[in-house]
Structure 1
């Protein structure tokens, strides 16, 4: 039950366990990480003993042996070379030498179990359980954006209290909080707080300052900062640091802690064998891969360093049929009354589990003449695939957690702490289930296979079509459907007495497709938004009023976009309220008119006009004078580091300018803003609300002009105003 593991430079490993009486450290001197080498081709007759003798001469190799392992899920046990290494940092360099030291041609050998993260490798190889046995204590350290690039902080938030003053004052306050709270987890707004505090302590002559629980080792840098691109989106990965005996969670570099909470992180720790610190900075795919690696390890299957799975041969016709996504019914643009949303519960994960879709059993040799996948002709082996064993426990656990959430909410006095824990765990598992499908088609996935991706889509298309046909036969009209969700409204051409009950239909469809179809929501009305430059419906832009509730469900429009200023979002939500109450475009325009008047009267607080945008490249990489460029120039002038992949926040103060004076950064003192710019943003947001009713931006602006003229005319002739 070691919640964190530290690796010292001398080869020692520290296991830290949180107990009811405090934290206990256990030293290990005998840990030797291991990687494997095997022929890439299972039919190759390669003698590994010569390579073994060469590795035995390497100073960082502790031992080697020939062992029986499976180099892949589709391969039986074979003789492979196991190499035990003196220090964890030497695993990758020694693995790289395999091809250099071997007499065989490049490409004949493959390395396995190489690129594991440190703590995960340790837990996997030693069987250590990283799930904390006791509740972890936390301490939060936060630095304002204006201080983040400084070598010396003048302000730091410690456990929610703002500390200002000299470096000695700040360092002393942190040391006092450490002694008071003795935290197992340091939650930092940025991990750069760690080296900066040490630098401040040294400069101030505070010799006894330390965040570490282990004497003699203050902190370690695990990785440098970097910029990356994923699916066309630029991201930033800050430097990572380690403090012996404590977990570092960097709020600027954590997905699961940010999207869920510590309970969600700990749930995944228990399933993935990745300790808290590593899981906090890991991506969804990284955690999913760790869970898969645990399953592979249980089956004595090695993990390839570089995936080399070729795509199975398929004819041009099969390739055409297979290279498609899920089924989509184009939404009917407009406002629809009395709409029900039905969702298939975890559709893609359940397709994997109910249809046995797994890389190790798809298109198997033993059933090659069988047509198991609709429209593609792929076979699926009768043997249970490993991916089913990975996902089924997660599906079952999330179903149980969701049931617990419903029971807790139905109580007269629900336990809010319990709900926070359950919702955190449910959210964490949801993200794993969301990613499991796409990862099958990811080229760098350790165990993915494109045929699995194609198969899942084929089953999903068939399932959604089956649901559509059954619902229409039961007297319901489909107004939209996408992948795993379908929206229906009573068919006006079917008599109410002949229309089948929707719950009964969902039960019948569930029985037929073997995946639960749930009634997600009933709406008084739903509006589907057209595309900006077309009359066709936008697939993921809609909004609707939940029946019997004051809540709206909103997808895709400005109120759901991360860059939208709070003022624009609030106005758009007010417009939805007016539309619900009146169904009148003129009433909605009244909300817009009042908001524009607020803007031009300088009645809007500037903090409600802050935009947040992601930086996609360094300042010198931009060729146009965009608002982001103006903001980056201002940040550079203030010595603020904003890297590609990070966000920058600003208020537009004069959009007519092309210089850095076009915007002001959110933390600056801002005396004015550009009302015309924000008026355009408001009109755009209101267009999203009214476009399902047939209004476009030009018509909205014409109506606003007419309203303005009517208001002016009420004052009488211009001469009377002089």
Structure 2
């Protein structure tokens, strides 16, 4: 069960297994990756023997054969050409040549199983299970942001201990840390630590320095850095490196490790067959695709290199009806007492599983005359879809993990390590379930289909409407609902004795729709925030006091926004407590006034005013002198590389300026800040709290001015 797999230049493969006594290695010299070539259209009669003979003469091809495989879930077994390649890096180039080497028109041939990541391909083709058989040891290496662009580090942290000094001092500390911990996993604040340490060792003439467990290879570069855009959001992917015998987790380029923990990563390793290092840098969609590929492989289905799925014909009316999202009940702006929140458990994944919504069975030919999807007229085959087999085990596993978390929490002395493990696993699975619906409509999804996306939404709309109607008939009033959640409060026009029990109603709805409706929370009150410059309710901005608990649930407001400075977040939460205790806008404004006074008195710690914003493009492409631009200019002056998609942290010191003096970077020595700017941010945050009561920032400023005026008058009179 290799937790890490290395590929050497000479074609050998190293499998590293974790044991209680350390890692062991097994060499393999006979691994030959394979891809396939087949007609794109099953109705096309293409003779692949000519292409086979050409490949047989290619120096990078070990061998070829005709085999029976399914080129798609909707296709039966066909004879396809299998090509075994001498080295894993030669698979994509050889696949590209398939169309060049054949006499068939471009588009007639399709290649399969081409663009797999290296370790995942190896596990898939050899049957190796990358789930570690023993607990993995880790070692964390980190450098401060001021060192990330340096060729020589002057400061570095090894397992939490900061080391400063000469390159020799730092390299010695790293080598001692590696020898003492013998880590299976190197957790690096940035992957750039690896090549930089080796360059420092070369410059210092320290030949014996190494991070590797394989003596002849120090490290390998797997990919260069790049910038990408996904759903309108710019992201940055740093360069990726490999150290033989150790998995690398780059904290600046890992979703699952950052959102969960190593236990969450390992849970997905066992499901996706992607080893630790590849799983750590993979996106949610990448991991979901890997799990789907494993299911396809088990069914003898090949994986297309490029998606080539036409959208089925639809009449104009069906296009109109299908192009809709989940159902939404606009929230009633204001404060509502005694509110209950009910959520459908994993609604979209459960719709897929209970309604058999899968790309291979949606709009099947064998039941084309059926109307299985409400409002759209789509049929769904009775044969079980592959996507159900992908998601049902994940749904069941998460339900079991959540039950285990609940049991552990009920213990008199809960095991915190056990809880952390369970929470990590539950969080990792949650993200897969969250993404499975949207991925069906993603144009580059290997097995997605837009009709699945449309069908899931159609079922979700019907389910939420069913829940709304039954709840209202039971004496409850719906104050908000969105996709899979619904908020209700007792209907004042219904007598208490006539109102049905909410738990009983939830059970009845669960049985009717075959998806569990859970009582998520009970609130003493919930406030729904209006949209900016509108009286309509914002769909995802609200806050409420959890009944029987000393906590608030907040969504969408500043306290939940990643860019909000800690001071602003704290004051907004203080205002929520004042509002809960007094229901008085005046009490909230009193807290605001005290915070503003502290700001102008210079009493707020600088570190509590740090803003964190994402850079969306290179510095030279900005046309306005924003705070981000000022921060990027300061970073450039200090030779700090900040790429599009990365965050930059700063404090606003003079917002009236347009130059780089407008802000100071968070790591700089900062002596002052722009109190007026942060006052504006405070007022904005308090507006979110008071806007459900009809207050806006203009009225808040007017009230603050009225409060301060007597103080100013009294001061004048004393003069």
Same fold by TM-score greater than 0.5: yes
Matching residue of 2:369:
369
Aligned to 2:26: 26
Q: Distance in 2 between matches of 1:579 and 1:714?
A: 30
Match of 2:91 in 1: 91
Q: 1:42 — aligned with what?
A: 42
Q: Is the 8 A contact 2:56 2:64 kept in 1?
A: yes
Q: 1:178-217 residue pairs with structure 2 within 5 A?
A: 178-217=178-217
CA distance in 2, matches of 1:699, 1:710: 18
Q: What SS is found at the alignment partner of 2:221?
A: strand
Spell out structure 1 runs of 4+ moving beyond 4 A: none
* Count of aligned pairs between the two proteins: 719
Report matched runs for 1:675-714 at 5 Å.
675-714=675-714
Q: Partner residue of 1:720?
A: 718
Q: Write the deviation string for residues 19-74 of structure 1: whole angstroms up to 9, x where unpaired.
A: 11221000000000000000000111000000000000110000000000000000
Task: Show the 5 A alignment for 1:474-553.
Answer: 474-553=474-553
User: Tell me, what secondary structure is at the counterpart of 1:504?
Assistant: helix
Q: Distance in 1 between matches of 2:194 and 2:22?
A: 23
- Aligned-residue offset at 1:193: 0.1
Q: Hey, what does 1:285 align to over in structure 2?
A: 285
User: For each residue in 1:437-476, what CA deviation from the matched residue of structure 2 results, as whole angstroms up to 9, or x when unmatched?
Assistant: 0000000000000000000000000000000000000000
Q: Which residue of 1 aligns with 2:78?
A: 78
Q: Distance in 1 between matches of 2:170 and 2:580?
A: 53
- Equivalent-residue separation in structure 2 for 1:650 and 1:22 (angstroms): 43
1:154-193 equivalence runs, <5 A: 154-193=154-193
TM-score computed with the length of structure 1 as normaliser = 0.99
Tell me the SS of whatever aligns to 1:441. coil
How do 1:568-579 and structure 2 match up within 5 A?
Answer: 568-579=568-579
2:80 alignment partner, SS class: strand
Residues 210-609 of structure 1: matches in 2 within 5 Å?
Answer: 210-609=210-609
**1:267 & 1:720 partners in 2: Cα distance?**
71
The answer on whether the counterparts of 2:212 and 2:246 sit within 8 Å (CA) in structure 1 is: yes
Cα separation, 1, equivalents of 2:710 and 2:410: 53
C-alpha separation between the residues in 2 aligned to 1:276 and 1:147? Answer: 27
Q: Which residue of structure 1 aligns with residue 51 of structure 2?
A: 51
How large is the RMSD of aligned CA atoms in angstroms? 0.5
Task: Structure 2: give runs of 5+ residues left out of the alignment.
Answer: none
Q: Distance in 1 between matches of 2:22 and 2:708?
A: 70
CA separation in 2, counterparts of 1:251 and 1:311?
39
Deviations 1:70-118 (A, max 9, x none): 0000000000000000000000000000000001000000000000000
Instruction: Give the whole-Å Cα distance in 1 for the aligned partners of 2:65 and 2:579.
Output: 73
**Alignment check: 8 A CA contact 2:22 2:182 kept:** no
Question: Who is 1:615 aligned against?
Answer: 615
What's the CA shift for 1:637?
0.2
- What 5-or-longer segments of structure 1 have no aligned partner? none
| Inter-partner Cα distance in structure 1 for 2:465 and 2:710 | 52
Structure 1 residue 712: deviation in Å? 2.3
Is 1:152 paired with 2:152?
A: yes
Q: Secondary structure, in 3 states, of the residue corresponding to 2:63?
A: strand
The one-character-per-residue Cα deviations of 1:217-254 (angstroms, maximum 9, x if unpaired) are 00000000000000000000000000000000000000
SS at match of 1:363: coil
Mapped partners of 1:456, 1:604: distance in 2: 50
Q: Cα deviation per residue 1:619-664 (whole Å; 9 max; x = unaligned)?
A: 0000000000000000000000000000000000000000000000
Using the alignment, how far apart are the partners of 2:337 and 2:511 within structure 1? 29
Question: SS at 1:235's partner residue?
Answer: strand
- Cα distance per residue 1:669-694 (max 9 Å; x no partner): 00000000000000000000000011
> Which residue of structure 2 lines up, in the alignment, with residue 662 of structure 1?
662
Matches of 1:306 and 1:324, distance apart in 2: 27
TM-score under structure 2 length normalisation: 1.00
**Cα distance between partner residues in 1 of 2:570 and 2:177:** 39
SS of residue in 2 equivalent to 1:66: strand
Separation of aligned partners in 2, 1:712 and 1:524: 40
Structure 1 residue 533, shift from structure 2 partner? 1.1
SS at match of 1:426: helix
**1:633 aligns to 2:633 (yes or no):** yes
Asked if 1:653 corresponds to 2:663, the answer is no
